[in-house]
Amino acid sequence: MERNQIAAESCQAEMYTSTAIALVVGGASLKVLLDKETWD
């Protein structure tokens, strides 16, 4: 039972990590796009 709980927690942690990375990458891409718009 404990092993399953640990597996679920690590799975959740991976989900949070990938979500955070996606947000950072998305935010950076958005900033670059906005900067390009401003430059033109």
DSSP-assigned letter for residue 40 = -
Q: Measuring CA to CA, how many Å separate 20 from each of 13, 28, 36, 38?
A: 10, 12, 24, 27
Given this model, what pLDDT does residue 40 score?
Answer: 64
- Calpha distance 20→31 (Å, rounded): 16
Amino acid identity at 35: D
- Calpha distance 32→12 (Å, rounded): 30
Given this model, what pLDDT does residue 39 score?
Answer: 75
Question: In residues, how long is the chain?
Answer: 40
> What is the Cβ-side half-sphere exposure of residue 25, based on CA atoms within 13 angstroms?
6
- How confident is the model over 1-40, as pLDDT tens digits? 678 888 888 889 999 999 999 999 999 999 999 998 887 6
